[in-house]
Amino acid sequence: MHHKTTALIIDDEAQIRKLLVFTLEKQGYRTLTADTGTLGIEMTAMHKPDIILLDIGLPDITGIDVLSRIREWSQVPVIILSVRDREEEKVVALDKGADDYLTKPFGMSELLARVRVALRHQSQTDTTSSILSNGAIKLDVASHLVTLHGREIELTATELHLLRIFLQHPGKILTHTFLLTEVWGTAFKEETQYLRVYVGNLRRKFEKDTTRPTIFITEPGIGYRMLLLEEPPIL
């Protein structure tokens, strides 16, 4: 291929960098590496990578600081890599603009899958499009028409707004705070019960089995993710 997808790895552990470089290049990616946050920011600006794998625990500045700096001028997909598994840290990273979060140690197949999802999400993201879709779910933004396998699905105004947010971010974890602020406003950012009710409504209208959802997934303690659907869900 003429243009190789470029992944920037920002991690201070040499063995991790070596493993990630080997794994990604074997899959056809071009890789760049940085062992400090400051260098990572400079390389992001200089090389404009297609995706960044970012460690939280860096020797000079935190990965969260790196993410915040990058988000001031770039929407490049960023996957956080960390040995820390605290929900609070995941929420902070996601609220700051991370696309995903993997806890070390992780399997390379899982990492590659998350990379593919983040890249596909980036290529599909177009919030100005009049048609938003994911698998067999389609939303005509102008007419507010929602269909599943071509069949019209009736939604309330709030359900429609929530679905639109999910369709604009397929495959990405959306935190409770983000969803509540986007749909209801900042005054409701603590009202997580609203989300339980309305995500439950969407599941009843789109999922085959609401007790085992395969579209609207709960990320415990963090928020929700609408899976990027490879194939239309069969009801």
Tell me if 158 is assigned to some domain.
yes
Task: List residues bridging with 9 in a β-sheet.
Answer: 33, 53
Whether residue 15 is found in the same domain as residue 117:
yes
Q: Say what the pLDDT of residue 131 is.
A: 86
Whether residue 149 is found in the same domain as residue 92:
no
Q: Say what the pLDDT of residue 29 is.
A: 96
Q: Which two tokens stand for residue 193?
A: 């019960």
d(CA 12, CA 9) in angstroms, rounded, equals 9
Tell me if 231 is assigned to some domain.
no
Whether residue 22 is found in the same domain as residue 71:
yes
Please indicate whether residue 121 or residue 143 has the higher confidence score (pLDDT). 143
Q: Spell out the alpha helix ranges (H) of 78-175.
A: 87-95, 108-124, 157-168
Tell me if 49 is assigned to some domain.
yes
- Domain edge (last residue) among 124, 143, 158: 124
Whether residue 80 is found in the same domain as residue 119:
yes
Tell me if 46 is assigned to some domain.
yes
The CATH code of the domain that includes 181 is 1.10.10.10
The total number of structural domains that make up the chain:
2
Tell me if 15 is assigned to some domain.
yes
Q: In terms of C-beta distances under 8 Å and separation of at least 24 residues, what long-range contacts does 115-120 make, across chains too? A: 115/7, 115/24, 115/51, 115/53, 115/79, 117/171, 117/228, 118/51, 118/77, 118/79, 118/171, 118/172, 119/5, 119/50, 119/51, 119/77, 120/170, 120/171, 120/228
Q: Say what the pLDDT of residue 118 is.
A: 87
The CATH code of the domain that includes 78 is 3.40.50.2300
d(CA 184, CA 71) in angstroms, rounded, equals 24
In this prediction, residues 197-222 reach a mean pLDDT of 94
Whether residue 10 is found in the same domain as residue 119:
yes
Q: Say what the pLDDT of residue 2 is.
A: 52
Q: Say what the pLDDT of residue 49 is.
A: 96
In this prediction, residues 204-213 reach a mean pLDDT of 94
Whether residue 87 is found in the same domain as residue 173:
no
Please indicate whether residue 141 or residue 200 has the higher confidence score (pLDDT). 200
- Domain edge (last residue) among 124, 144, 159: 124
Whether residue 153 is found in the same domain as residue 101:
no
Whether residue 104 is found in the same domain as residue 153:
no
Q: Could you list the residue range(s) of the whole structural domain that residue 97 is in?
A: 6-124
Task: Note the pLDDT tens digit of each residue in 17-45.
Answer: 999 999 999 999 999 999 999 999 999 99
Average pLDDT of the residues of the chain: 90
pTM: 0.75
Whether residue 120 is found in the same domain as residue 140:
no
